[in-house]
């Protein structure tokens, strides 16, 4: 199989979908890897390192798309890339289609085989290709929040851990999954007072156990969310329903009760956001806006700010699945691997992931039925 890796072009995105070790693994399995010039520079990987591992370097993204059977990316394709796709081409990347009708329509029109990292799911519910980026985003959400709380960013002008004689910041985390847990680790380490809300009592019990009582756990409901939001200096949205639009759990009225200069970091923004006032995405170059006196940060690719860590963490988990697709062919790989099959979001003009179909009012086709239609 011919694997193509274009350079990421989303604003301030410097990750890359493959490392030299990944190139070597593909080549040893009899495949060819084509990488756009300088695709790895932002992650500290040179073209020479890729060539040494067996890759071929091409000058433009179009050349990469033209030659490839499977395109590997990090972020969803941007509008300028839509026309590069060809029918039956495999796209293996983060897609986040539910809130993005334009992208969905483009992939359907081009009859792409779109496999989304974020919906590959194991039998136990784990999301192996989302987990490392959730870990990065969770940890960064607190350090970002701490920086935005400074007065130079229009924040409240407070230190997360306080100092002797001065109380620490109140950090409220909505969602106790991977993002929320990693955010709590950093916030606790910085000395903040931390509250985590989640709908799963078993998860709350787990969090209470691993943090040894150093965090407050609350059942997530509208009353508790409203009370917690009001006291928060830093509010982190960490809600995830795999592949679906995030529910708006924090309303605009709740945000209006927050302290002037408090900070919101909505990590769920790549799935539409779970905080109502995060009504637009921002970028690493222009990361926040003020609404109702509250600093809002809604960058959808938080891990892109630390591309070297993120690239290596991501490719550690994506490579085995990508090799399976290349070695078996996408159809056999999908039919034999249930976790990978759940990653199939669009297939040759059909929507094969129900939360995406539901979010956009499109017809849903069972992925096995879609694959067996040919």
Name the residues annotated as catalytic.
96, 270
- Euclidean distance between CA atoms 95 and 226, whole angstroms: 32
Residue 351, marked binder? no
Q: Can you give the C-alpha Rg of the chain in angstroms? A: 21
Residue 317, marked binder? no
Residue 198, marked binder? yes
Residue found under tokens 């509010």: 235
Residue 220, marked binder? yes
276, 248 in Cβ contact below 8 A? yes
Residue 268, marked binder? yes
Residue 239, marked binder? yes
Residue 324, marked binder? yes
Structure tokens at 197: 């809300």
Residue 139, marked binder? no
- Euclidean distance between CA atoms 53 and 70, whole angstroms: 19
Residue 302, marked binder? no
DSSP strand pairing (90-93 vs 70-72) = parallel
Residue 156, marked binder? no
The closest of 302, 264, 266 to 284, measured between CA atoms, is: 302
Beta-carbon contacts of 19 under 8 Å, excluding residues fewer than 6 positions away, are: 40, 45, 311, 312, 315
Residue 214, marked binder? no
- Euclidean distance between CA atoms 137 and 356, whole angstroms: 23
257, 285 in Cβ contact below 8 A? no
- Euclidean distance between CA atoms 354 and 258, whole angstroms: 36
Q: How many CB atoms lie within 10 A of CB 369?
A: 11
Strands (E), 2-66: 2-5, 32-36, 56-58
With the CA atoms of 41, 138, 240 and 168 taken in that order, what torsion angle do they form, in degrees rounded to the nearest 10? -150
Residue 269, marked binder? yes
Annotated binding site for NAD(+): 134, 198, 203, 220, 239-240, 267-270, 280
In the annotated binding site, the residues are 15, 75, 134, 198, 203, 220, 239-240, 267-270, 280, 324
Binding site as annotated, residues for Mg(2+)? 324
């Amino acid at each position: 199989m011919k694997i193509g890796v274009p350079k990421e072009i989303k604003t301030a995105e410097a990750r890359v979908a493959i490392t030299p070790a990944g190139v070597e693994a593909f080549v040893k399995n009899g495949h060819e890897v084509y990488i756009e010039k300088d695709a790895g520079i932002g992650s500290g990987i040179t073209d020479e390192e890729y060539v040494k591992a067996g890759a071929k370097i091409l000058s433009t993204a179009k050349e990469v798309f033209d030659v490839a059977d499977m395109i590997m990316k990090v972020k969803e394709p941007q509008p300028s890339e839509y026309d590069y796709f060809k029918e039956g081409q495999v796209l293996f990347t983060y897609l986040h289609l539910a809130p993005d009708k334009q992208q969905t329509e483009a992939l359907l029109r081009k009859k792409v085989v779109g496999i989304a990292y974020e919906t590959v799911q194991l039998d136990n519910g784990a999301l192996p290709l989302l987990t490392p980026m959730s870990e990065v985003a969770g940890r960064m959400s607190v350090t970002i929040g701490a920086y935005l709380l400074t007065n130079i960013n229009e924040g409240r002008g407070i230190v997360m851990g306080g100092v002797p004689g001065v109380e620490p910041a109140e950090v409220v985390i909505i969602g106790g999954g991977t993002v929320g847990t990693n955010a709590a680790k950093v916030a606790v380490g910085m000395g903040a007072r931390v509250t985590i809300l989640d709908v799963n009592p078993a998860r709350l019990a787990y969090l209470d156990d691993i943090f040894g009582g150093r965090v407050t756990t609350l059942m997530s409901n509208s009353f508790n969310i409203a009370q917690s939001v009001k006291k928060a200096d830093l509010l982190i949205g960490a809600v995830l329903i795999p592949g679906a639009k995030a529910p708006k759990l924090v309303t605009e009225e709740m945000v209006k009760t927050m302290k002037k200069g408090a900070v919101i970091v909505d990590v769920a923004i790549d799935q539409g956001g779970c905080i109502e006032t995060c009504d637009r995405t921002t970028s690493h170059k222009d990361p926040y806006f003020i609404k109702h006196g509250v600093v809002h940060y809604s960058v959808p690719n938080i891990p892109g700010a630390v591309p070297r860590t993120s690239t290596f963490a991501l490719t550690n988990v994506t490579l085995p699945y990508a090799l399976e697709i290349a070695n078996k062919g996408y159809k056999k790989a999908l039919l034999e691997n249930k976790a990978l099959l759940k990653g199939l979001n669009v297939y040759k003009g059909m929507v094969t992931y129900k939360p995406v179909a539901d979010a956009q009012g499109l017809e849903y086709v069972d992925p096995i039925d879609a694959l067996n239609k040919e």
